[in-house]
Amino acid sequence: MKRWLLIVLLLAVGIWLVPYSVPLLLALATALLLEPSIRRLQQTYRLKRVHAVTAIFSLFIVIVGVLLYVLIVIFVEQVMALSQKLPAFLSEATKVLDRLIQTWQSYSSSIPREIIESLERGVNTVQQMLLSFASSLTQSLVHYIAAVPAFLIHFLVYIVALFLICLDLPRLKQGVRRHLSERTEQRLGMIVTQLSKAAVGFIKAQFLLSVITFFLALAGLVVLGIDYAALMALVIVIVDILPILGTGSVLVPWGIISIANGDKALGIGLIVLFVVITVVRRIIEPKVFSTNLGISPLAALVSVYLGFQLLGFIGLFVGPVVVILVEALAKAGVIRWTIKL
């Protein structure tokens, strides 16, 4: 009884500490993912662990640094390009708004006053919503800018912890083994192995989906005759990766503005491109997830759909993770399906 009380107490403390230990947990997860490469390097070249860890850690830092540099450069270039084109864009938007107002004035004389007042109230409501959205967006930007120093501190802690955990991982595993029975150790090892493979597969799946989205967007933009098609396709992919947003956050407003501005061919083409990208992704997502995560296409489809319905964007990640975890526990014998009807 005391042992179970101690286990429950440790679990409760661990859960309570999770929000404060995110950099350390991410470092541990990354170290587990890098561990096979470190051991392979040790065995192939007969290196000491510190040398193998230093080599793999340095390679990891270089890859992450290059990716961050590329993303920052693209972001800065886009901001500069947007700042240069913003006056022209606002001018075009003003012309579109003027035409809409003129059209409204030409028709409003023959519309009953009650309908006009109702429409005006609707317009005022939309304006208030837009103002509220702009205010929220500004506050969010200020919040994220203010969070940059804290993020840098967390990132530094993550990097240092990753190196130290990679060095001490064998001793950490040995310390955990001392408190586990042989059967529990086998089960836990099977679960960790399964989850590690699934994590690598998930990253591969997301990368493959991003590559497919990039080439679909690039082909569509080239056909539509868009300048800087490759750069815009990359922006679409980056926006698609971000939480809540998606390809529609770029293509649909762009298409609507183009139609309102009189370029119906471009506007309809952009909306059709959005539909094509969305349909293709929804068709191939289950297959890509099943191939890289080791679960069936049906389980991948159901987990992604239910995860999105229940938890939104985060559910796209949580759903497959839950399925993988349940399958890993079942293979390890922790969960037994013994129900018969």
Does residue 91 surpass a pLDDT of 80? no
φ and ψ at residue 294, rounded to 5 degrees = 80, 25
pLDDT number for residue 79 = 59
pLDDT number for residue 167 = 93
Q: List the one residue out of 291, 276, 280 whose CA is nearest residue 220.
A: 276
* Distance (Å) of CA 269 to CA 63, 171, 251, 256, 264: 37, 59, 9, 11, 8
* Over residues 310-326, mean pLDDT: 73
How far apart (Å, rounded) are the C-alpha atoms in residues 341 and 175? 44
- Per residue in 170-217, pLDDT (tens digit) is 998 888 878 777 777 787 777 777 777 777 777 788 888 888 998 999
DSSP-derived secondary structure letter, 19: G
Q: What angle do CA 39, 45, 51 make, to 5 degrees?
A: 65
Question: Contact 56/166 with Cβ under 8 angstroms?
Answer: yes
* Over residues 293-316, mean pLDDT: 73
pLDDT number for residue 59 = 95
3-state SS string over 41-83? HHHHHCCCHHHHHHHHHHHHHHHHHHHHHHHHHHHHHHHHHHH
How far apart (Å, rounded) are the C-alpha atoms in residues 119 and 115? 6
Question: Contact 324/194 with Cβ under 8 angstroms?
Answer: yes
pTM across the whole model: 0.62
Question: Contact 199/35 with Cβ under 8 angstroms?
Answer: no
What residue spans define the domains of the chain?
22-178
Does residue 130 surpass a pLDDT of 70? no
Query: Which long-range contacts (C-beta less than 8 Å, at least 24 apart) are formed by 242-249?
Result: 243/313, 243/314, 244/312, 244/313, 247/213, 247/217, 247/274, 247/277, 247/278, 248/274, 248/278
How far apart (Å, rounded) are the C-alpha atoms in residues 189 and 32? 12
pLDDT number for residue 302 = 80
Question: Contact 156/24 with Cβ under 8 angstroms?
Answer: no
How far apart (Å, rounded) are the C-alpha atoms in residues 248 and 87? 24
Residue corresponding to tokens 């956050």: 249
Mean pLDDT of the chain: 77
How far apart (Å, rounded) are the C-alpha atoms in residues 3 and 97? 71
pLDDT number for residue 119 = 64
Region label for 296, one of left (φ > 0), alpha (ψ between -120 and 50) or beta (otherwise): beta
Q: Identify the band that residue 160 occupies on the pLDDT scale cut at 50, 70 and 90.
A: very high
* Over residues 94-104, mean pLDDT: 63
